[in-house]
Amino acid sequence: MSGEHPSERLIERYVAGSPAIAAASSPAVVAVGEPDAPADELWALEAHLEACRVCRDRLSVVVPARAPAVATLVGTVWSGLEPRLTATSQAPRRRRLGVRLPVRLSGWLTPVMVPWLAMAASVTVIALLLDLFGTGGGTGRVPLVLLLAPVLPVLGVAASWSRGLDPAYELTASVPGAGLPLVLRRTASVLAVLVPALLVGGWVTGVMVAQWLLPCLTFTSATLALGGLVGVTRAAVALVAVWAAVIVAPGLATTSGTVFTLRDGSLPVWGLLLALATGVVIARRGAYFVLGTHR
Amino acid sequence: MTRAVSAAEIATTTSAWQIRATGLQVRAGRKRMAVDGLDLSLGTGVHGLLGPNGAGKTTLIRALATVLRPAGGTLELFGESVGGLGEHRALRRRIGYLPQEFGYYKRFTVREFVEYLAWLKEVPKSDIPAAVQRAVERVGLADRADERMKGLSGGMVRRVGIAQAIVNDPAILLLDEPTAGLDPAQRLRFRELLQELGTDTCVAVSTHLVEDVAAACTDVVLFVGGRLAFQGTPDELASAGGPEHAGDSPLERGYSALLLGSESERGSWRTSMCCASSRGAPSLPGRAW
């Protein structure tokens, strides 16, 4: 807004009313007619008043003195409106305590993801407890946290973009805000919950961060990459099966300490897979804009 | 003085039709071609998409909503071609869509849900509260706006679906079976809303209720076996039927006459001719419905 404001006189003339205003505004203004405010001046003034709070305040100061009829009309309308306004504005405020938080977070996760995340987090805690108290049935020295790390986020990711689990999936897929950024936001929120939990678990059981973080990210990324091709739910199921066959089974069978797939030497392989999966996700980002071909 | 006119509002349409399909083919699932060689042009107004179950209405609406990509032919929305794996963000901001299976989050209130969708539809943040209030009022849910969705009846949930579809003031509005679950009074109100929207929006409503079409639509599109069987005004549809055809109203008789005609055309003659010109589709008298 420029620094220019209408003169006091112009505002007074506006309050007093003119035939041009009379045609456009309330009947209360019609009574006192002063014909010397041209239509374009009026238009400019009203446009300015709509945007300028200072001048609206100046106007409201002038009104009671110059146009008592308008002032009483406004007073009547206001007194009729006030009780209803207080009644309606309180209704939403009452909810604010319990419900606001998830709604503010809805840009990051959907309500259906919450139970899945809770489950993944509690599995982490249980695994950690089993590790700590040494009852991790027959795993030898392979911490359960390490075994579970890759597959936990897969569950959350599956719930974040799945046709079967998310009731609003079709609606979400049809909006301009859909696509990879939204999927990544939801994935990030899954990781934001699980990575700290795993971090604590890894620290307590003395596992190197890269040892679980890389498989964890690789599986997450692979879920999305495969999900773009066959649907996220199917991808998650397939990857959990792969995880069970390649990591858990040898992990439970072996007594020699570390499983090959989670040994330090395998980290470059995990890194390579992660890069590959990320590449596929980026190359096929358009797939997150359309409906999956299955449920 | 700045006037808030967005670029989208004054953008010139490069096409006379908001929706234009030529030889459009869309797959439902892996194999079945649910829309097969459709030629269709839709402009401003309310278009009733009529057809028997399984005619491909939902698949067509999904393709128009750009959530399914054409397998063949061309589809243009606002003169812009839709296809491949493009993102069509700008296009989607001007589309409103109500899916047939309208899923929602039970814990959200009506207002929260519509706000969430407005956010997803990239409505400018400062406009969201007003846009949501306007949409909720238009579907007559202003007094229930702060109730949770799980407490609503089926008809009200549908109306929330309609509210979220119109919250971004779309230029193309796609409604898949919007009257399912509405009681007669709500249906009347809904028709009024449709007529109101149809003055400046291209509204495509799929339905299998002929009376919905008669009351609210300026244009009827009859869709059989993935193809266009008829396009014209409700009056033209009514005049296609004669007393020998099944139905309680002229429109229903016209509908069965055209259905009969297009089915026999596809079934026994196996013609590859497009059905777009079959306004006076031959009806076979004497064949039982």
- Which residues of chain A make contact with B30, given a CB cutoff of 8 A? 293-294
Which whole-number Å values give the CA distances from A114 to A17, A105, B113, in the listed order? 60, 11, 17
The answer to whether the CB atoms of A291 and B121 lie below 8 A apart is no
Yes or no, beta carbons of A111 and B121 under 8 Å apart:
no
Give the C-alpha separation, A145 to A123, whole Å.
9
CA distance linking residue B267 with residue B246, whole number of Å: 20
ipTM > 0.85 (yes/no): no
B chain contacts of residue A92, beta-carbon cutoff 8 Å: 111, 146
Question: Who's near A116: CB < 8 A, 6+ residues apart?
Answer: A155, A156, A158, A159, A165
| Poorest-pLDDT segment among A115-119, B58-62, B126-130, B268-272 | B268-272
Query: Which segments in chain A show pLDDT lower than 50?
Result: 1, 20-34, 91, 93-101, 136-139, 257, 294-295
Taking CB atoms and an 8 Å limit, are A92 and B84 in contact across chains? no
- Average pLDDT of chain B? 82
The CA distance from B276 to the nearest CA of chain A, in Å, is 29
- pLDDT, residue A99, reads 46
CB within 8 Å: A174 and B89 = no
- Could you give the angle at the alpha carbon of A149 between the alpha carbons of A148 and A155, nearest 5°? 80
- Residues A176, B117: C-beta atoms closer than 8 Å: no
pLDDT band at residue B282 using 50, 70 and 90 as cut-offs: very low
- What's the confidence (pLDDT) of residue B60? 93
Which of A106, A171, A293 to probe by mutation at the B interface, max B CB count within 10 Å?
Answer: A171
- Residues B67, A91: C-beta atoms closer than 8 Å: no
Q: If you measure CA to CA, which chain B residue comes closest to A287? A: B85
Contact B84 A286 (CB under 8 A): yes
CB distance B90–A95 less than 8 Å? no
B24-38 pLDDT, tens digit each:
999 887 788 888 889
Phi-psi region of A5 (alpha: psi -120 to 50; beta: other; left: phi over 0): beta
Which has more confidence, A29 or B148? B148
Binary contact (B107, A111; C-beta < 8 A): yes
Shortest alpha-carbon distance between residue B65 and chain A (Å): 6
Give the separation between CA B64 and CA B82, rounded to whole angstroms: 9
Q: Do A44 and B1 touch (CB under 8 A)?
A: yes
Question: Do B103 and A106 make contact, defined as CB atoms within 8 angstroms?
Answer: no
Check B68 against A284: CB less than 8 A apart.
Answer: no
Band of pLDDT at residue B173, cut at 50, 70 and 90:
very high
B74 pLDDT above the threshold of 80: yes
pLDDT in tens, B217-254: 999 998 888 888 889 998 888 888 888 888 888 888 88
- Mutate: best of A55, A166, A170, A175, partner B, most B CBs <10 A: A175
Partnered with residue B172 across adjacent β-strands are B95, B202
Residues of chain A with C-beta less than 8 angstroms from the C-beta of B103? 166-171
Best mutation target, A4, A174, A281, A293, to test chain B (most B CBs within 10 A): A174
* pLDDT for position A135: 55
pLDDT band with cut points at 50, 70 and 90 for residue B174: very high
Instruction: Measure in Å the smallest separation between the Cα of A159 and chain B Cα atoms.
Output: 14
Q: Searching chain A, which residue's CA lies closest to the CA of residue B69?
A: A290
Q: Which residue has the higher pLDDT, B81 or A102?
A: B81
B120 closest CB neighbour out of A169, A177, A293: A177
Q: Tens digits of per-residue pLDDT, B178-229? A: 888 788 888 888 888 899 999 989 999 998 788 888 888 999 998 888 888 8
pLDDT in tens, A145-160: 778 888 888 888 888 8
Phi, psi of B174 (to 5 degrees): -115, 115
pLDDT computed for residue A153 by the predictor = 86
Residues of A in contact with B111 (CB under 8 A): 92
Average pLDDT rounded to a whole number, residues B78-105: 86
Rounded average pLDDT over B254-268: 70
pLDDT-based confidence at B171, cuts 50/70/90?
very high
> Which of B68, B107, B108 lies closest to A291 in CB terms?
B68
State the pLDDT at residue B227. Answer: 87
Signed CA dihedral, A53, A56, A61, A62: sign only: positive
Asked whether residue B283 carries a pLDDT value surpassing 50, the answer given is: no
Q: Which amino acid is at B173?
A: L
Give the pLDDT of residue B251.
85
Per-residue confidence (pLDDT) for residue A30, from 0 to 100: 41
| pLDDT given for residue B223 in this prediction | 86
Please report the number of interchain residue pairs, chain A to chain B, with beta-carbon separation below 8 angstroms: 102
